[in-house]
A and B are shown apart, each in its own frame.
Chain A
């Protein structure tokens, strides 16, 4: 894409995947902790 060779272009893809994984991890960890707190209160 944009005339950039594949191996070089993959650097962008690597960063996008990292951001996606970080978002999913933060979301799931926060949700698990909130669920844990609610169970603890019950």
Chain B
């Protein structure tokens, strides 16, 4: 069978399944809680696998492979810490408390949680704006991964790859809402897992096994197998923390805890997500080994697509292709639904008191999904950087704004309203200011010393310190509401 025809058949079947899921879940979406968080009735397996799918999107498969190609095996530490901090500890520390508190407060989005937990309308407005703006940059990185994949595997122009994949996600998210997102995420995680395992097996086959692959890599540069090797500790620690601890402040990841049905599902979900998270090792390892086969790639993000296209059998390429598309789409859809919630529910309806009923809110959310998606597609047509750089930038700003107020909001009775405002605004300004400073320094030559650390680290540290210090010296305390442990 003609190769392109096979890809198209597999892709059409897959897209048809997604659209059907979108329409079926749309029929179960009756309230705004259904649209934004699936009515808090999602089980452990679906929650955990859709968490994994949202986490390890095309950003990790394509961008992680690109980093593996560029810096070598030390990037495996990103995967290891993703499993520990991004999966296990995130579920352990945040899962149960988030589920119980958001249920008690009847909060369905992150800005909604902040406003109700701290009785602070400012938090709703500020966080909604930060989320809507900076998740668009994350969308751009996801769409870049999809565009690169379409380009290498199908020979379709990069721009058309971005437009086609972006529009399909827009259709099923706009119709199905959160239920469509988690169910398609679940299906996508399975496809992603299978395709990554097939890629790993084939990569080890063509490199003559792991020992031979590592030896070939060592022959190019020993820095490609050592830790921190070519990367250096500042870069390594920064990226490891951004994409691991960053999860703790990312609304599209935390939404899984709002919607999970009970505490037993949280415990089982933690284990499933931790095991599922181990697939993150594959792209970094394959990306590093790709350097032995394709030295001198100008665009490191093409490492994985090149390996797939050259060494996998046609049918496996088709499955992998759908897997990457699945990974990108699952994250893009999760991000879209969160952005729409922030804009319509938190900003327009609640903060600016627009009089709309539940049905209108769902319609407006669908419309805003479409607009945010279109803006993301337009920006992704000419992306300003590598996939993982764009992701780290948007995650750094959002996590620096949200992580400390969210974490302290779950556990600490001593938080004050003033502390929350200082923490949010301070974390935001420090992270973004730090990254602007890095760009200025970079224009004068290579960055040295402490300035090599990513803006996420000073941003989160500032946010945590401000929360503690300002809360201790101010008096407008807002204790944690008592939750019913069910």
Give A residues with C-beta under 8 Å from B.
2-5, 7-8, 11-12, 14-15, 18-19, 21-23, 25-26, 29-30, 33
Contact = CB atoms under 8 A, between A and B. Distances in A.
Interface in B53-110: 73-74, 76-77, 79-81, 83-84, 87-88, 92
Given A3-B218, A12-B80, A22-B271, A33 B264 contact: yes
Given A15-B278, A29-B267, 20 more contacts: A2-B214, A3-B210, A3-B214, A3-B225, A7-B226, A8-B73, A8-B225, A8-B226, A11-B80, A12-B76, A15-B84, A18-B83, A18-B87, A18-B88, A18-B274, A22-B270, A22-B275, A25-B270, A26-B268, A33-B264
Contacts of B278: 15, 19
Contacts of A4: 73, 210, 214, 225
Contacts of A3: 210-211, 214-215, 218, 225
Interface string B474-485: 000000000000
B227 interface: yes
A32 B254 CA distance: 26
Contacts of B88: 18, 21-22
A21 B84 CA distance: 10
Contacts, number: 76
A7 B226 CA distance: 7
B281 interface: yes
A2 B346 CA distance: 53
A24 to B, nearest CB: 10
Interface string B222-251: 000111010000000000000000000000
A21 B270 CA distance: 11
Nearest to A22: B274
B226 A19 contact: no
A21 B278 CA distance: 14
A15 B264 CA distance: 23
Nearest to A20: B274
A14 B73 contact: no
Interface string B188-224: 0000000000000000000000110011001000000
A33 B211 CA distance: 46
A29 B96 CA distance: 12
Contacts of A23: 271
B84 A14 contact: yes
A3 B218 CA distance: 9
Contacts of A30: 264, 267-268
Nearest to B89: A18
Contact of B76 (A8, A18, A22, A25): A8
B267 A14 contact: no
Nearest to B81: A14
Given A5-B227, A26-B270, A12 B275 contact: no
Contacts of A12: 76, 80, 281
Contacts of A11: 76-77, 79-80, 227, 281
Nearest to A4: B214
A25 to B, nearest CB: 7
16 contacts: A2-B214, A3-B215, A8-B73, A8-B74, A8-B225, A8-B227, A12-B80, A15-B80, A15-B83, A18-B84, A18-B87, A19-B275, A23-B271, A25-B92, A25-B267, A25-B270
Contacts of B77: 8, 11
A23 B268 CA distance: 9
Nearest to A3: B214
B227 A2 contact: no
Q: Select the residue from A2, A3, A15, A30 with max chain B CB neighbours within 10 A.
A: A15
Interface in B392-424: none
Contacts of A26: 267-268, 270-271
A15 B218 CA distance: 24
A25 B214 CA distance: 35
A12 B83 CA distance: 10
Contacts of A2: 210-211, 214
B80 A5 contact: no
Contacts of A5: 225-227
Contacts of B274: 18-19, 22
Contacts of B215: 3
A14 B214 contact: no
A15 B278 CA distance: 7
A40 B392 CA distance: 48
Given A19-B83, A19-B275, A33-B264, A7 B210 contact: no
Contacts of B211: 2-3
A29 B92 CA distance: 11
